[in-house]
Structure 1
């Protein structure tokens, strides 16, 4: 297996379990995405998620009125635009509704912007935080994850997405309005296992919807070609499944719809990689499907190395919440 794929698989796998990350500067007023409905008469500039980043004033606008319309305090609006309290607000003034550009606490890296001033990508610096990045660019954690086609951006105790040198996307590409309406087959954990495409679907539309990179979709579906359209009616696999990956080399059974039911462990397998291979969204879900009947252990199956989660080979474990194995 290529080293790049193993690193990507581990990064996606290990980033389960999103938790809040604190950042000193943000306040509650910027903790969520700004409204997408234009509340004032002037023109706005929004990012790819509909968050309004800029507003241009018209006759009759006031600082208090603009701030209230976009759920900001006057102090924040002054700060974002380097204004002093009481400064005039003539028509045609382009106001920032997100922090002024440039490095700040928790987000000291360099960003690229499009011609409209919308930040499109960012290079993470040491000591950056998830909260700092989302505050600086006026997006939510969920939007950041979607833009980068990953399930989550942060895991308690281990930072994999927010790491120095990582060049991350801050926006998503436009997708066809017809996309995303195909049939999805889910496993009992709520993870999409198969998706049947419709007209308008693309690597981006599928990637944003199911948090799968183009490289992953091509790996799971060898018939796909990166620079070719995906034909409507294509049944795509959204998890490795049949594809053996490092740390999940064993065999499995599935139901008539192809949903994995059980898995027989092989040497070197780990809980995390087994969970990733079969779309078990959280490690706790694998535990729920394999609780012991007696004792205080969290699962009945055995480990050759508990700290790393390496499993004893030859055990058949459940991959389905609705068909658990309890011993």
Structure 2
């Protein structure tokens, strides 16, 4: 059996006594798909030692018409998105789940969210992840009230790759959030790694904030040009609405906007970044 970096079986070499039904059942695919992937005739016996594909045969399919890079074992490693490709087509062609595709690319999700599309024409997608130390990822995390990990204390074996896969942060993001880290040096055990911009101001989130003794953000004071989406991104607070619901009325939130369609907030407002310490004012 040949598996990819996620443990998905992509190829299987038959043994005496194997039948299409046995092989298909073992790998939770239909006999029809097994036959399609390998050009088998229905009911044809399997010869021991035959290498069977458990993912679609190479080449374009509906929803994934581009060319993939394949390693020496036949495992697809990267892919460039073509026009009219779909997330479903890409994951089906390469035998991945949406979560695995997101992990390989060190992003939180692979589906469309907030008008940002992961599947875009010309985008270069990683289909596999690099090997990481088995000791990695066992350190201590600090989560905010939204359940998002915002700090992590490293253990022996941690690397930029292992942190990226675990917390869905690109290497560039980790280096940006943590100026002490570099690509040419290992991360010492016991290093507290920031997993969000936090103190790093970003476009659309230029204001100041307060935090508790663990560094968990509590409140934020808006600056000109700030938007809900960017504030949420800076502090890994995916739902400001629930921390800032009004006491009365039907408004979604109590704070004021300078431009509602873009989600731009009026400057000078102090809003909550914590679900466990919400600010519930009356509507402005």
**TM-score bucket of the superposed structures, by smaller chain:** over 0.9
Check if 1:230 corresponds to 2:187: yes
> Partner residue of 1:277?
234
Report how many aligned residue pairs link the two structures. Answer: 281
Cα distance in 1, alignment partners of residues 126 and 276 from structure 2: 37
Check if 1:293 corresponds to 2:247: yes
Match of 2:270 among 307, 316, 327: 316
Cα distance in 1, alignment partners of residues 20 and 93 from structure 2: 21
Cα distance in 1, alignment partners of residues 27 and 136 from structure 2: 31
Check if 1:221 corresponds to 2:221: no
Q: Output the TM-score relative to the length of structure 1.
A: 0.84
Q: Output the TM-score relative to the length of structure 2.
A: 0.97
Cα distance in 2, alignment partners of residues 287 and 183 from structure 1: 29
Check if 1:120 corresponds to 2:77: yes
Q: Relative contact order (C-alpha < 8 Å, sep 6+): which is higher?
A: 1
Cα distance in 2, alignment partners of residues 313 and 170 from structure 1: 42
Check if 1:171 corresponds to 2:125: no
* Aligned residues: CA RMSD: 1.0
Cα distance in 2, alignment partners of residues 128 and 159 from structure 1: 16
Describe the superposition over 1:205-255 as per-residue Cα deviations: whole angstroms up to 9, x where unpaired.
000011111110110000111121111111111100000000000000000
Matches within 5 A, 1:115-264: 115-156=72-113, 158-264=115-221
1:156 CA displacement = 4.9
1:297 CA displacement = 0.8
Describe the superposition over 1:3-50 as per-residue Cα deviations: whole angstroms up to 9, x where unpaired.
xxxxxxxxxxxxxxxxxxxxxxxxxxxxxxxxxxxxxxxxx1111111
> Partner residue of 2:21?
64
> Which blocks of at least 5 consecutive residues in structure 2 are unaligned?
none
> Which blocks of at least 5 consecutive residues in structure 1 are unaligned?
1-43
Describe the superposition over 1:115-152 as per-residue Cα deviations: whole angstroms up to 9, x where unpaired.
11000111000110000000001110000000000000
